[in-house]
Chains A and B, each alone.
Chain A
Amino acid sequence: MEKKLTLGRRFLLSRATSVLVVLVLILLLFSLFSPEHRFVDPDNLKVLLSLGAEFSIIALGVGMLMICGEFDLSIGSILVFCSFVFLKLFELEVNPFIIAVVTVFVGGALGLVNGLITVRGQIPSFVTTLGTMMFWRGLTLLLSGGEQTACDVSALGTKAASRFLALFTGRAGGFLPAQFLWFTLFAILLGILLHYHRFGNWVYATGDNRDAARAMGINTDWVKTACFIIVGVLCGVVACAQIGRLACFTSRTGEGWELKAVAASVVGGTSLRGGIGSMMGIFLGAIVISVIENGLVVLRIPYFWTYVFFGLVVLFSVLSSMYIEKKQMEAHR
C-alpha cells in the first residue's frame, strides 16, 4: 500500500506529468471555447499535426542538446540553408530522394560546424550558434536574393517525386499527416537513445557534471558534437518536409524558432544548466507550444496574444519545476 502511494506521488511529481496536465487543460480550453468547436475540427487537426510537427521535430533535438548542456540558436538558419540547398538541387531536376539525402547531410554538416567551433574553440554554444544563426541566414539571403521561389516537387512528375511527397507530406490512413508520424518516430528513437542507450547516459553525465563524465572516460566533446549533428540532421529532414508541403522556398522560414524551441524544452522540464530533462517532457513541451500557436489562431485571437501565452507558459513551467524540485528533495530525504 505504501509502495503504491509513493508510486502515485512519484507520478504526480514527475515533470512530464505536469506538462501533460497543462496540455490537457489547454486542449480542453481550446476545444470548448473555439467558435463552433473548430479546434477539434478534423481539418484543423490535420493542420496542427502537420504544421506543428515540423517545428516540434527540431525541438526534440534542441531538448536533447540542452540536456547535454548546450544551446542551438541557429536551427532556423540551418533550416533555411537546407531548404535553399534543396531548392538548388531541385532546379537541377535531381531525384528528390537524392536531394533529401543531400539536404539531411548538409544539415548534419552544419550541426558538426556548430559542434566543432563550440568544443574546439571552447566558447559557449550560445555565442557560437548566435554567430552561425546570423551567418547562415545572411548567406542564404545573399545567395537567394531573399525571394520566394516555387519548388513544387510534384511538378517533376516522376514516380520518385510522388513517392517523396507521400513519404513527407502524405496521410496515413487518409488522416494522420506524415509529418506527425515523423515527429513520433523521432521522439521514440531519440527517447530510446536518451533513456536506454549508453549514449543517453553520456549525454546526461556530460550536461550534469562534465568533469565527472570526463574522469569516467567519456569523451564529452564528442558527445556534444554528436548532439549538435542530431539537431542539424533534424533540421534537414524538416526542410524536406516543409518544402514538400509548401511547394516553395521562402527565405524567412524558421525565423524565431530558436527561442520557441528553447521554450518548448523548458516547458517540458528541461533545465538550462544541463543534466535534467526527459524525451517525454520535451515531446509534450513541443506539442504544448504548437497547440497554443494553433489554438489562438482558431480562437481568432490576434497573433500577438501568442507571445503572452508563451511567456506565461514558460514562466509557469519555471515556477512549477522549481516547486517539483523542492518537493522531490523532500520526498527523498
Chain B
Amino acid sequence: MERLIQFLRRRAASTFLVFVGLVLIFAFLSPRYVFVHSRNIAALGKLFPDLGIVTLGIGMLMICGEFDLSVASVLPFCAYIFARTLYAGLAPSWGLFFALLVGAALGWFNGFLTVKTRMPSFITTLGTLMFWRGVLYIWSKLMPLGIRQYIPSGSLFEKVLTGTVFGFFPVQSLWFTLFAILLGILLHYHRFGNWVYATGDNRDAARAMGINTDWVKTACFIIVGVLCGFSACMQSVRIGSFAATQGINFELRAIAACVVGGTSLRGEIGSMSGVVLGALTIPILDNGLVLLRVPVMGISAFIGLATILFVLLNTYVERRFR
C-alpha cells in the first residue's frame, strides 16, 4: 500500500493512469477487440522496441541534461556497418560487435564535442545528425543491402535478436525489458545514477562535489550510441536488409516519448519507469489509432496533441500535489 501511494506521487503516475485508460479504450473500441488480439500484441511487441530501446538511453541522457538528435543517423549508420561486416564475410556476431563499437564511438564523439565546446548538445548533435546522415548517404549511395542470405532464418543469431519465446512472445520485447531493468538499476541503485541526476540538476554543484560531470555526460552519450547500435542490428535482422531510411524521425519521437514519460527537458527530473511508460505509450497510441481506422498520415496529429497534453497534465499534477 505504502508503495502504491509512493508510486502515485511520482511525476509519471498520471501518465500511467492515462496509459491504462488508453489501453482499455483501444481494447473495447477496436473492431472485434483486435487491439488485444494476440497477433496484434505480438506485432506491437516486435516493432516498438526498435525505437523503445533508443528511447531508454535518450531518457537517461535527458536526465543528465543533454539531448541527442543524432540517433536518427547513428542508428542507420550502425545498421550499415552491420550489413557491411556481413558482406565482408564475417560472422553476424562480429557484425553486432562492430555495430555496437561504432555506435559507442559516435556516441563518444557527440559527448566529446558537447563537453569540450560547452555548446548545448542540441546543436552539436544537430550537426552530427546532418553530418553522419550525409556520410551514410554518400557511402551507401542509398542502396539497400539485403542480409537474409547471411542470417538464415532459424539461425541462433536470428532467434536471439528477433525470435519468439513460448511460441508467441517476441524476443525484442525481452531485450527492451532487459535494457530497461539494467538502466533502471544503473540510474536508481548505482552511484552512477546519482551522478547523472546531480549533473542534470546542477552541473556546478555536482562538480563542486567532485563529480566529473564531463565524464558522466560522455558516458551517457556512449550508452545512447551503444543502444542505437543494438537496435540497428535488431531492426536490420527483422527487416532482412539495411535501409538508409532506418531510424528516420527517431530523434524527435524519442524525445516525445521521454517527455510523455515525465522526463524534464531541463534535466534532473525523470525516472526509468517513466521513460519505459513513454516508450510504450506512443506506439500504443499509434497502433490503437490505426486499428480505429484513423488514416495513418493523420496519426501524428494525435501524437502531437498527446505530447502536449501529457506534459501539461504532468506539470499540473506535480504542482497540485506536491
Write the residues of chain A forming the contact surface with B, with a CB cutoff of 8 angstroms: 73, 117, 121-124, 126-128, 130-139, 141-142, 146, 259, 262-263, 266, 272-273, 302, 304-312, 314-315, 318-319, 322
Query: What B residues does A139 contact at CB under 8 A?
Result: 298, 301
Instruction: Report whether B311 and A262 are in contact in the complex, using a CB–CB cutoff of 8 Å.
Output: no
**B259 located at the interface, meaning its Cβ lies under 8 Å from any Cβ of chain A in the complex:** yes
Residue numbers in B under 8 Å from A126 (CB-CB): 255, 265
Cβ A263 vs Cβ B126 within 8 A: yes
Query: For the complex, what is the distance from the CA of A73 to the CA of B300, rounded to whole Å?
Result: 14
Q: Is the CB of A322 within 8 A of B298?
A: no
* Given A138-B301, A310-B130, A318-B117, 10 additional A-B pairs, CB 8 A: A121-B312, A124-B265, A130-B255, A131-B305, A138-B299, A138-B300, A141-B300, A273-B120, A304-B134, A314-B130
Cβ–Cβ contact B138 & A142, under 8 A: no
CA distance A310 to B305 in the complex (A): 31
Whether B315 lies near A122 (C-beta < 8 A) is: yes
| B132 within 8 A of partner (CB) | yes
Bound complex: CA A311 to CA B305 (Å): 31
Q: Is the CB of B131 within 8 A of A308?
A: yes
Q: A134-B301, A141-B298, A315-B113 are in contact. Are A272 and B259 (CB under 8 A)?
A: no
Closest 4 CB pairs of A and B: A138-B301, A311-B131, A134-B304, A304-B137
Which chain B positions have C-beta within 8 A of A311? 127-134
Q: Contact between B138 and A305 (Cβ–Cβ < 8 Å)?
A: yes
Interface of B is mostly: helix
If the complex has contacts A138-B297, A315-B127, A318-B123, are A127 and B265 also in contact, measured as CB distance less than 8 A?
yes
CB distance A318 to B255 under 8 Å? Answer: no
**Residue in contact with A130 in the complex, picked from B122, B128, B256, CB distance below 8 Å:** B256
Contact B124 A315 (CB under 8 A): yes
B252 contact set on A, CB distance < 8 A:
73, 130, 133
Size of the B side of the interface (Cβ < 8 Å), in residues, is 44
Interface on B for A, CB 8 Å cutoff? 69, 113, 117-120, 122-124, 126-135, 137-138, 142, 252, 255-256, 259, 265-266, 295, 297-308, 311-312, 315
Flag if B131 contacts A117 (CB, 8 Å): no
Instruction: Report B-chain residues with C-beta under 8 Å of the C-beta of A127.
Output: 255-256, 259, 265, 307-308, 311
Cβ A133 vs Cβ B304 within 8 A = yes
Set of chain A residues within 8 Å of B130, measured between Cβ atoms: 259, 263, 307-308, 310-311, 314
Which residues of A sit under 8 angstroms from B312, Cβ to Cβ? 117, 121, 123
B215 CB → nearest A CB, Å: 20
Q: Is the CB of B123 within 8 A of A304?
A: no
Q: How far is the CA of A310 from the CA of B307 in the complex (A)?
A: 29
- Cβ–Cβ < 8 Å partners of B124 in chain A: 315, 318
Look across to chain B and name the residue whose beta carbon is closest to the beta carbon of A138: B301
A292 to chain B, nearest CB (A): 11
Q: List 15 A-B contacts (CB under 8 A).
A: A123-B311, A124-B266, A127-B307, A134-B301, A136-B301, A136-B304, A141-B301, A263-B130, A273-B120, A307-B131, A310-B130, A312-B131, A314-B130, A315-B124, A318-B124
Contact partners of B266 in chain A: CB under 8 A: 124
Known: A124-B266, A273-B120. A135 touches B305 (CB 8 A): yes
A273 vs B69: C-alpha distance in the bound complex, in angstroms?
17
State the CA gap A156–B308 with chains docked (Å): 40
A266 to B304, CA, bound (A): 26
Known: A127-B265, A130-B252. A322 touches B302 (CB 8 A): no
The residues of A that contact B295 with a CB separation of less than 8 Å are 141-142
Asked if residues B298 and A138 are in contact (CB atoms below 8 Å), the reply is yes
Residue of B nearest to A313 (CB): B127
Cα–Cα distance between A128 and B122 once the two chains are bound (Å): 16
Whether B259 pairs with A138 at a CB distance below 8 angstroms is no
**Residue among B117, B256, B301 with the most chain A CB within 10 A?**
B301
Whether A307 lies near B298 (C-beta < 8 A) is no
A115 to chain B, nearest CB (A): 13
User: For residue A138, which residues in chain B have a CB less than 8 angstroms away from its CB?
Assistant: 297-304
Q: How far is the CB of B294 from chain A (nearest CB, A)?
A: 8
Most-contacted residue by chain B among A122, A136, A306, A314 (CB, 10 A): A314
Chain B neighbourhood of A132, CB < 8 A: 304, 308
- Measured between beta carbons, the chain A residues less than 8 angstroms from B311 are 121, 123, 127, 131
Which chain B residue shows the least CB distance to A142?
B298
- Inter-chain contact A262/B126, CB cutoff 8 Å: yes
Min CB–CB distance A275 → chain B (angstroms): 13
